[in-house]
Amino acid sequence: MESTKFKRSKTTDFFYKLCHAIYFFGLPNFWLEELNLSKRFVRLYDKFMTFNNGLIYFLIAFEMGSFFTQTNLTEQQKSDLILYALSHPMLFSFHAMLSRLQDKVRLLMYNLAVALKAVYNDPEVERQMLTRTYIYVFAFLYSCVMSMFMYAAGAIWAVVRYDATFTTLITAYPDVEDKSNLANLVRALCFIIWWIFLTRMFAVYMLVISLTSCLSHQYKNLQSYFESLNDIFEREDLSQTEKEEQYETGFKIGIKLHSDTLRCTKQTQMVCRGVFSGQIVFNISLLVVLMAQMANSERTLVNLCTTVITATAVLIGTGLYMWNAGDVTVEASQLATAMYFSGWYNCWGQSSVRVRKLLVITMRQAQQPVLLKGLGYIELSYQSYITVSTIIKHPRKLWAEATKGWKNLGWEYV
Protein backbone atom coordinates (compact mmCIF):
# COMPACT_ATOMS: atom_id res chain seq x y z
CA MET A 1 0.00 0.00 0.00
CA GLU A 2 1.39 3.37 -0.98
CA SER A 3 2.10 5.94 1.68
CA THR A 4 -0.79 8.37 2.27
CA LYS A 5 0.08 12.03 2.80
CA PHE A 6 -1.93 13.82 5.46
CA LYS A 7 -1.52 16.36 8.20
CA ARG A 8 -0.29 14.83 11.44
CA SER A 9 -1.94 15.61 14.76
CA LYS A 10 -2.30 14.13 18.22
CA THR A 11 -5.41 12.35 16.96
CA THR A 12 -3.60 10.71 14.04
CA ASP A 13 -0.75 9.73 16.38
CA PHE A 14 -3.27 8.14 18.74
CA PHE A 15 -4.98 6.14 16.01
CA TYR A 16 -1.63 5.04 14.64
CA LYS A 17 -0.70 3.63 18.07
CA LEU A 18 -4.18 2.13 18.41
CA CYS A 19 -3.86 0.33 15.07
CA HIS A 20 -0.52 -1.07 16.17
CA ALA A 21 -2.04 -2.42 19.38
CA ILE A 22 -5.13 -3.97 17.83
CA TYR A 23 -3.04 -5.47 15.03
CA PHE A 24 -0.94 -7.33 17.59
CA PHE A 25 -4.22 -8.34 19.29
CA GLY A 26 -5.45 -9.98 16.09
CA LEU A 27 -7.40 -7.47 13.98
CA PRO A 28 -6.25 -6.36 10.50
CA ASN A 29 -4.33 -3.13 9.98
CA PHE A 30 -6.92 -0.35 9.78
CA TRP A 31 -4.42 2.48 9.55
CA LEU A 32 -4.07 4.66 6.46
CA GLU A 33 -0.50 3.55 5.88
CA GLU A 34 1.45 0.39 6.39
CA LEU A 35 2.55 -0.03 9.99
CA ASN A 36 6.21 0.41 10.82
CA LEU A 37 6.85 -3.31 10.60
CA SER A 38 8.96 -5.32 8.18
CA LYS A 39 7.16 -7.17 5.40
CA ARG A 40 8.71 -10.44 6.54
CA PHE A 41 7.41 -9.93 10.08
CA VAL A 42 3.93 -9.01 8.82
CA ARG A 43 3.81 -12.10 6.59
CA LEU A 44 4.85 -14.43 9.41
CA TYR A 45 2.68 -12.72 12.01
CA ASP A 46 -0.42 -12.89 9.77
CA LYS A 47 0.09 -16.64 9.44
CA PHE A 48 0.55 -16.89 13.21
CA MET A 49 -2.70 -14.97 13.78
CA THR A 50 -4.54 -17.21 11.32
CA PHE A 51 -3.29 -20.23 13.25
CA ASN A 52 -4.41 -18.66 16.54
CA ASN A 53 -7.85 -17.92 15.10
CA GLY A 54 -8.08 -21.58 14.14
CA LEU A 55 -7.29 -22.53 17.73
CA ILE A 56 -10.06 -20.23 18.96
CA TYR A 57 -12.58 -21.79 16.59
CA PHE A 58 -11.46 -25.21 17.81
CA LEU A 59 -11.85 -24.10 21.45
CA ILE A 60 -15.40 -22.88 20.82
CA ALA A 61 -16.33 -26.16 19.12
CA PHE A 62 -14.59 -28.03 21.95
CA GLU A 63 -16.77 -26.20 24.46
CA MET A 64 -19.93 -27.01 22.53
CA GLY A 65 -19.00 -30.67 22.57
CA SER A 66 -19.02 -30.65 26.37
CA PHE A 67 -22.83 -30.55 26.34
CA PHE A 68 -22.70 -34.14 25.09
CA THR A 69 -19.72 -35.53 27.00
CA GLN A 70 -19.73 -33.93 30.47
CA THR A 71 -22.16 -35.65 32.83
CA ASN A 72 -20.60 -35.07 36.26
CA LEU A 73 -20.84 -31.30 36.52
CA THR A 74 -21.63 -29.36 39.66
CA GLU A 75 -24.20 -26.55 39.58
CA GLN A 76 -21.35 -24.04 39.37
CA GLN A 77 -19.76 -25.87 36.45
CA LYS A 78 -23.10 -26.15 34.65
CA SER A 79 -23.53 -22.39 34.97
CA ASP A 80 -19.98 -21.83 33.70
CA LEU A 81 -20.65 -24.09 30.74
CA ILE A 82 -23.76 -22.14 29.75
CA LEU A 83 -21.97 -18.85 30.37
CA TYR A 84 -19.02 -19.61 28.09
CA ALA A 85 -20.97 -21.50 25.43
CA LEU A 86 -23.28 -18.50 25.16
CA SER A 87 -20.70 -15.73 25.22
CA HIS A 88 -17.67 -17.03 23.32
CA PRO A 89 -19.26 -17.55 19.86
CA MET A 90 -21.02 -14.20 20.11
CA LEU A 91 -17.91 -12.31 21.19
CA PHE A 92 -15.69 -13.85 18.54
CA SER A 93 -18.26 -12.96 15.89
CA PHE A 94 -17.47 -9.29 16.67
CA HIS A 95 -13.89 -9.93 15.59
CA ALA A 96 -15.03 -11.62 12.38
CA MET A 97 -17.45 -8.81 11.50
CA LEU A 98 -14.90 -6.02 11.93
CA SER A 99 -12.23 -7.97 10.06
CA ARG A 100 -14.48 -8.12 7.01
CA LEU A 101 -15.04 -4.36 7.13
CA GLN A 102 -11.38 -3.35 6.92
CA ASP A 103 -11.81 -0.84 4.07
CA LYS A 104 -14.87 0.79 5.63
CA VAL A 105 -13.20 1.08 9.03
CA ARG A 106 -10.13 2.60 7.38
CA LEU A 107 -12.27 5.17 5.55
CA LEU A 108 -14.11 6.08 8.75
CA MET A 109 -10.83 6.44 10.62
CA TYR A 110 -9.48 8.72 7.89
CA ASN A 111 -12.57 10.94 7.99
CA LEU A 112 -12.55 11.27 11.78
CA ALA A 113 -8.81 11.65 12.34
CA VAL A 114 -7.73 13.51 9.20
CA ALA A 115 -10.42 14.96 6.91
CA LEU A 116 -12.60 16.58 9.58
CA LYS A 117 -9.56 17.88 11.47
CA ALA A 118 -7.93 19.47 8.42
CA VAL A 119 -10.11 22.61 8.50
CA TYR A 120 -10.47 23.11 12.25
CA ASN A 121 -9.16 21.23 15.25
CA ASP A 122 -9.65 22.66 18.74
CA PRO A 123 -6.64 21.48 20.79
CA GLU A 124 -8.63 21.50 24.04
CA VAL A 125 -11.37 19.30 22.56
CA GLU A 126 -8.69 17.01 21.16
CA ARG A 127 -7.07 16.75 24.58
CA GLN A 128 -10.43 15.89 26.18
CA MET A 129 -11.06 13.23 23.55
CA LEU A 130 -7.70 11.55 24.08
CA THR A 131 -8.01 11.68 27.88
CA ARG A 132 -11.48 10.15 27.89
CA THR A 133 -10.57 7.47 25.37
CA TYR A 134 -7.49 6.39 27.33
CA ILE A 135 -9.53 6.24 30.56
CA TYR A 136 -12.30 4.19 28.93
CA VAL A 137 -9.91 1.77 27.23
CA PHE A 138 -7.81 1.13 30.33
CA ALA A 139 -10.92 0.78 32.52
CA PHE A 140 -12.25 -1.89 30.19
CA LEU A 141 -8.94 -3.74 29.96
CA TYR A 142 -8.52 -3.69 33.73
CA SER A 143 -12.02 -5.04 34.40
CA CYS A 144 -11.59 -7.86 31.86
CA VAL A 145 -8.16 -8.91 33.13
CA MET A 146 -9.40 -8.89 36.72
CA SER A 147 -12.34 -11.06 35.71
CA MET A 148 -9.99 -13.58 34.07
CA PHE A 149 -7.72 -13.62 37.09
CA MET A 150 -10.68 -14.24 39.39
CA TYR A 151 -11.80 -17.23 37.33
CA ALA A 152 -8.26 -18.58 37.52
CA ALA A 153 -8.21 -17.89 41.27
CA GLY A 154 -11.48 -19.78 41.68
CA ALA A 155 -10.05 -22.80 39.86
CA ILE A 156 -6.86 -22.69 41.94
CA TRP A 157 -8.92 -22.42 45.13
CA ALA A 158 -10.87 -25.54 44.13
CA VAL A 159 -7.58 -27.40 43.65
CA VAL A 160 -6.18 -26.29 47.02
CA ARG A 161 -9.33 -26.57 49.11
CA TYR A 162 -11.14 -29.54 47.58
CA ASP A 163 -8.37 -31.37 45.71
CA ALA A 164 -10.32 -30.80 42.47
CA THR A 165 -8.93 -30.36 38.97
CA PHE A 166 -7.85 -26.98 37.60
CA THR A 167 -10.97 -26.39 35.53
CA THR A 168 -11.59 -22.91 34.14
CA LEU A 169 -13.35 -23.95 30.92
CA ILE A 170 -15.69 -26.90 30.50
CA THR A 171 -14.64 -28.70 27.31
CA ALA A 172 -15.55 -31.98 25.66
CA TYR A 173 -12.33 -33.51 27.00
CA PRO A 174 -11.11 -34.12 29.63
CA ASP A 175 -13.71 -35.10 32.19
CA VAL A 176 -13.80 -32.59 35.06
CA GLU A 177 -12.70 -35.35 37.45
CA ASP A 178 -9.85 -36.65 35.27
CA LYS A 179 -6.50 -35.95 37.00
CA SER A 180 -4.19 -37.57 34.46
CA ASN A 181 -1.18 -35.70 33.08
CA LEU A 182 -2.75 -35.54 29.61
CA ALA A 183 -5.94 -34.07 31.04
CA ASN A 184 -3.98 -31.41 32.92
CA LEU A 185 -2.03 -30.56 29.77
CA VAL A 186 -5.25 -30.14 27.76
CA ARG A 187 -6.70 -27.87 30.46
CA ALA A 188 -3.56 -25.72 30.46
CA LEU A 189 -3.62 -25.40 26.67
CA CYS A 190 -7.31 -24.45 26.70
CA PHE A 191 -6.59 -21.79 29.31
CA ILE A 192 -3.82 -20.31 27.13
CA ILE A 193 -6.09 -20.28 24.08
CA TRP A 194 -8.72 -18.56 26.22
CA TRP A 195 -6.27 -15.73 26.87
CA ILE A 196 -5.54 -15.50 23.14
CA PHE A 197 -9.29 -15.28 22.58
CA LEU A 198 -9.44 -12.45 25.11
CA THR A 199 -6.93 -10.38 23.12
CA ARG A 200 -9.34 -10.44 20.18
CA MET A 201 -12.00 -8.94 22.41
CA PHE A 202 -9.56 -6.31 23.62
CA ALA A 203 -8.96 -5.30 20.01
CA VAL A 204 -12.65 -5.03 19.14
CA TYR A 205 -13.60 -2.99 22.19
CA MET A 206 -10.57 -0.70 21.91
CA LEU A 207 -11.44 0.08 18.30
CA VAL A 208 -15.16 0.69 18.80
CA ILE A 209 -14.63 2.77 21.97
CA SER A 210 -12.04 4.94 20.21
CA LEU A 211 -14.17 5.50 17.10
CA THR A 212 -17.31 6.46 19.02
CA SER A 213 -15.36 8.68 21.42
CA CYS A 214 -13.74 10.51 18.50
CA LEU A 215 -17.15 10.93 16.84
CA SER A 216 -18.75 12.47 19.93
CA HIS A 217 -15.88 14.91 20.32
CA GLN A 218 -16.11 15.83 16.63
CA TYR A 219 -19.54 17.30 17.39
CA LYS A 220 -17.89 19.16 20.25
CA ASN A 221 -15.20 20.34 17.84
CA LEU A 222 -17.93 21.62 15.53
CA GLN A 223 -19.47 23.58 18.39
CA SER A 224 -16.11 25.19 19.02
CA TYR A 225 -15.78 26.02 15.32
CA PHE A 226 -19.12 27.84 15.07
CA GLU A 227 -18.49 29.71 18.32
CA SER A 228 -15.08 30.80 16.98
CA LEU A 229 -16.75 32.53 14.00
CA ASN A 230 -17.93 35.25 16.36
CA ASP A 231 -14.28 36.29 16.81
CA ILE A 232 -14.24 37.57 13.23
CA PHE A 233 -16.31 40.58 14.26
CA GLU A 234 -13.85 41.49 17.02
CA ARG A 235 -11.01 42.08 14.57
CA GLU A 236 -10.08 45.70 14.07
CA ASP A 237 -8.06 45.22 10.87
CA LEU A 238 -11.15 44.40 8.76
CA SER A 239 -14.02 46.51 7.52
CA GLN A 240 -17.62 45.54 8.24
CA THR A 241 -18.03 44.22 4.70
CA GLU A 242 -14.89 42.09 4.96
CA LYS A 243 -16.01 40.71 8.30
CA GLU A 244 -19.39 39.74 6.85
CA GLU A 245 -17.76 38.07 3.85
CA GLN A 246 -15.40 36.07 6.04
CA TYR A 247 -18.25 35.10 8.35
CA GLU A 248 -20.44 33.89 5.48
CA THR A 249 -17.56 31.89 4.03
CA GLY A 250 -16.74 30.42 7.42
CA PHE A 251 -20.38 29.56 8.13
CA LYS A 252 -20.67 27.71 4.80
CA ILE A 253 -17.52 25.76 5.66
CA GLY A 254 -19.16 24.86 8.99
CA ILE A 255 -22.22 23.59 7.12
CA LYS A 256 -19.95 21.36 5.04
CA LEU A 257 -18.20 20.09 8.18
CA HIS A 258 -21.59 19.33 9.76
CA SER A 259 -22.68 17.41 6.66
CA ASP A 260 -19.42 15.42 6.69
CA THR A 261 -19.83 14.69 10.41
CA LEU A 262 -23.35 13.36 9.84
CA ARG A 263 -21.95 11.13 7.10
CA CYS A 264 -19.33 9.86 9.55
CA THR A 265 -22.12 9.10 12.01
CA LYS A 266 -23.82 6.92 9.40
CA GLN A 267 -20.49 5.24 8.65
CA THR A 268 -19.98 4.53 12.36
CA GLN A 269 -23.46 3.03 12.59
CA MET A 270 -22.76 0.84 9.57
CA VAL A 271 -19.33 -0.31 10.78
CA CYS A 272 -20.34 -0.94 14.40
CA ARG A 273 -23.91 -2.09 13.85
CA GLY A 274 -23.16 -5.77 14.36
CA VAL A 275 -21.10 -5.10 17.48
CA PHE A 276 -23.73 -2.77 18.95
CA SER A 277 -26.53 -5.29 18.37
CA GLY A 278 -24.52 -8.27 19.56
CA GLN A 279 -23.39 -6.43 22.69
CA ILE A 280 -26.97 -5.73 23.75
CA VAL A 281 -27.99 -9.38 23.33
CA PHE A 282 -24.77 -10.52 24.98
CA ASN A 283 -25.18 -8.14 27.91
CA ILE A 284 -28.73 -9.12 28.77
CA SER A 285 -28.20 -12.84 28.26
CA LEU A 286 -24.98 -12.96 30.23
CA LEU A 287 -26.35 -11.01 33.18
CA VAL A 288 -29.30 -13.39 33.43
CA VAL A 289 -26.90 -16.36 33.47
CA LEU A 290 -24.71 -14.65 36.07
CA MET A 291 -27.68 -14.02 38.35
CA ALA A 292 -28.70 -17.67 38.05
CA GLN A 293 -25.10 -18.66 38.73
CA MET A 294 -24.99 -16.51 41.83
CA ALA A 295 -28.22 -18.05 43.10
CA ASN A 296 -27.10 -21.67 42.53
CA SER A 297 -23.36 -21.64 43.20
CA GLU A 298 -21.66 -22.30 46.50
CA ARG A 299 -21.55 -19.23 48.76
CA THR A 300 -17.81 -18.63 48.93
CA LEU A 301 -16.00 -15.33 48.80
CA VAL A 302 -14.07 -16.38 45.69
CA ASN A 303 -17.25 -17.34 43.83
CA LEU A 304 -18.96 -14.12 44.83
CA CYS A 305 -16.02 -11.95 43.77
CA THR A 306 -15.74 -13.83 40.47
CA THR A 307 -19.41 -13.29 39.62
CA VAL A 308 -19.46 -9.65 40.72
CA ILE A 309 -16.26 -8.78 38.83
CA THR A 310 -17.49 -10.57 35.70
CA ALA A 311 -20.83 -8.76 35.85
CA THR A 312 -18.99 -5.49 36.40
CA ALA A 313 -16.79 -6.13 33.36
CA VAL A 314 -19.87 -6.81 31.24
CA LEU A 315 -21.59 -3.65 32.44
CA ILE A 316 -18.46 -1.57 31.91
CA GLY A 317 -17.99 -2.90 28.39
CA THR A 318 -21.62 -2.18 27.49
CA GLY A 319 -21.50 1.13 29.30
CA LEU A 320 -18.51 2.32 27.32
CA TYR A 321 -20.45 1.71 24.10
CA MET A 322 -23.63 3.34 25.33
CA TRP A 323 -21.95 6.25 27.11
CA ASN A 324 -20.04 7.22 23.99
CA ALA A 325 -23.16 6.79 21.87
CA GLY A 326 -25.04 8.92 24.39
CA ASP A 327 -22.30 11.55 24.15
CA VAL A 328 -22.79 11.64 20.36
CA THR A 329 -26.49 12.39 20.83
CA VAL A 330 -25.90 15.01 23.53
CA GLU A 331 -23.09 16.85 21.75
CA ALA A 332 -25.00 16.84 18.45
CA SER A 333 -28.06 18.30 20.18
CA GLN A 334 -25.97 21.26 21.42
CA LEU A 335 -24.69 22.12 17.96
CA ALA A 336 -27.74 24.24 17.05
CA THR A 337 -27.08 26.48 20.05
CA ALA A 338 -23.46 26.96 18.98
CA MET A 339 -24.67 27.92 15.50
CA TYR A 340 -27.04 30.49 16.94
CA PHE A 341 -24.25 32.14 18.92
CA SER A 342 -21.83 32.11 15.98
CA GLY A 343 -22.22 35.87 15.34
CA TRP A 344 -24.90 36.16 12.63
CA TYR A 345 -26.46 39.07 14.56
CA ASN A 346 -23.39 41.18 13.73
CA CYS A 347 -24.24 41.18 10.01
CA TRP A 348 -26.06 44.11 8.39
CA GLY A 349 -28.33 44.62 5.39
CA GLN A 350 -28.43 41.98 2.65
CA SER A 351 -25.66 40.02 4.33
CA SER A 352 -27.88 39.65 7.40
CA VAL A 353 -30.76 38.39 5.24
CA ARG A 354 -28.58 35.78 3.52
CA VAL A 355 -27.00 34.60 6.77
CA ARG A 356 -30.33 34.29 8.57
CA LYS A 357 -31.70 32.06 5.82
CA LEU A 358 -28.62 29.87 6.04
CA LEU A 359 -28.85 29.80 9.83
CA VAL A 360 -32.51 28.73 9.95
CA ILE A 361 -31.97 25.86 7.49
CA THR A 362 -28.77 24.71 9.21
CA MET A 363 -30.18 24.90 12.74
CA ARG A 364 -33.23 22.94 11.66
CA GLN A 365 -30.94 20.19 10.37
CA ALA A 366 -28.83 20.32 13.54
CA GLN A 367 -31.93 19.92 15.72
CA GLN A 368 -32.69 16.52 14.22
CA PRO A 369 -31.74 13.87 16.84
CA VAL A 370 -28.50 12.04 16.06
CA LEU A 371 -28.77 8.47 17.32
CA LEU A 372 -26.70 5.31 17.20
CA LYS A 373 -28.81 2.16 17.43
CA GLY A 374 -28.48 -1.51 18.18
CA LEU A 375 -30.72 -4.25 16.78
CA GLY A 376 -32.08 -1.66 14.38
CA TYR A 377 -34.28 0.18 16.86
CA ILE A 378 -32.75 0.25 20.37
CA GLU A 379 -31.19 3.66 20.95
CA LEU A 380 -27.74 3.55 22.52
CA SER A 381 -27.97 6.23 25.16
CA TYR A 382 -27.61 6.90 28.87
CA GLN A 383 -31.26 5.98 29.45
CA SER A 384 -30.88 2.70 27.55
CA TYR A 385 -27.86 1.80 29.64
CA ILE A 386 -29.73 2.48 32.87
CA THR A 387 -32.58 0.28 31.64
CA VAL A 388 -30.25 -2.59 30.77
CA SER A 389 -28.12 -2.29 33.89
CA THR A 390 -31.13 -2.52 36.23
CA ILE A 391 -30.88 -6.28 35.76
CA ILE A 392 -28.07 -5.95 38.26
CA LYS A 393 -28.96 -3.87 41.26
CA HIS A 394 -26.84 -1.33 43.06
CA PRO A 395 -23.63 -3.03 44.33
CA ARG A 396 -24.85 -2.96 47.93
CA LYS A 397 -28.16 -4.52 46.96
CA LEU A 398 -26.31 -7.05 44.82
CA TRP A 399 -24.13 -7.98 47.77
CA ALA A 400 -27.18 -8.23 50.04
CA GLU A 401 -28.99 -10.44 47.53
CA ALA A 402 -25.98 -12.69 47.10
CA THR A 403 -25.44 -13.08 50.81
CA LYS A 404 -29.11 -13.42 51.73
CA GLY A 405 -29.63 -16.37 53.97
CA TRP A 406 -25.91 -17.18 54.20
CA LYS A 407 -26.28 -18.58 57.71
CA ASN A 408 -28.73 -21.18 56.50
CA LEU A 409 -26.71 -21.97 53.39
CA GLY A 410 -23.36 -22.37 55.11
CA TRP A 411 -21.50 -19.27 53.91
CA GLU A 412 -17.73 -19.76 53.76
CA TYR A 413 -15.63 -16.67 54.33
CA VAL A 414 -12.37 -18.16 53.11
Q: Is residue 3 part of a domain?
A: no
Residue 19: per-residue pLDDT: 95
What integer pLDDT is reported at residue 376 of this predicted model?
Answer: 75
pLDDT value of residue 215:
95
| Alpha carbons 130 and 5: distance in angstroms, whole number | 23
Higher pLDDT, 295 or 12: 12
Q: 54 pLDDT band (50/70/90 cuts)?
A: very high
Q: What is the pLDDT of residue 304?
A: 66
Band (338; pLDDT cuts 50, 70, 90): very high
pLDDT of residue 303: 64
pLDDT tens digits for range 352-374: 999 999 999 999 999 999 988 88
Please list, residue by residue across 60-79, b when 16 or more beta carbons sit within 10 angstroms of its beta carbon and e when fewer do.
bebbbebeeebeebeebbbb
Between 80 and 268, name the one with better pLDDT. 268
Instruction: Answer whether residue 195 is part of any domain.
Output: yes
- Whether 165 maps to a domain, the answer reads yes
State how many domains the chain has.
1
Upper half-sphere CA count for residue 337 (Cβ side, 13 Å): 7
Per the DSSP assignment, residues forming a β-bridge with 412 are 300
Phi, psi for 62 (deg, rounded to 5): -65, -40
Greater pLDDT, 164 or 332: 332
What is the per-residue burial (b if ≥16 Cβ within 10 Å, else e) of 245-266?
A: eebbebbeebbebbebbbebbe
C-alpha distances (whole Å) from 47 to each of 50, 53, 206, 304 are 5, 10, 23, 40
Q: What is the DSSP string of 7-51?
A: ---HHHHHHHHHHHHHHHTT----SSS--SS-HHHHHHHHHHHHH
User: Of 173-177, 203-207, 253-257, 337-341, which gets the smallest average pLDDT?
Assistant: 173-177
Residue 14 within a domain? yes
Let me know if residue 414 belongs to a domain: no
Please state the pTM of the whole predicted model.
0.86
Distance CA 92, CA 87 (A): 9
Q: Does residue 406 register a pLDDT over 50?
A: no
Q: Model confidence at 387, in pLDDT bands (50, 70, 90)?
A: low
What is the mean pLDDT of the segment spanning 259-263? 96
pLDDT reported for residue 306: 65
Most confident of 2-16, 39-53, 65-79, 142-156: 39-53
Domain that holds residue 214: 10-409
> Has residue 399 been placed in a domain?
yes
Chain mean pLDDT for the chain: 85
Query: Distance between CA atoms of 218 and 55, rounded to whole angstroms?
Result: 39
Strand 378-379 and strand 373-374: the pairing is: antiparallel
In a domain, residue 160? The reply is yes
Answer yes or no: is 152 within a domain: yes
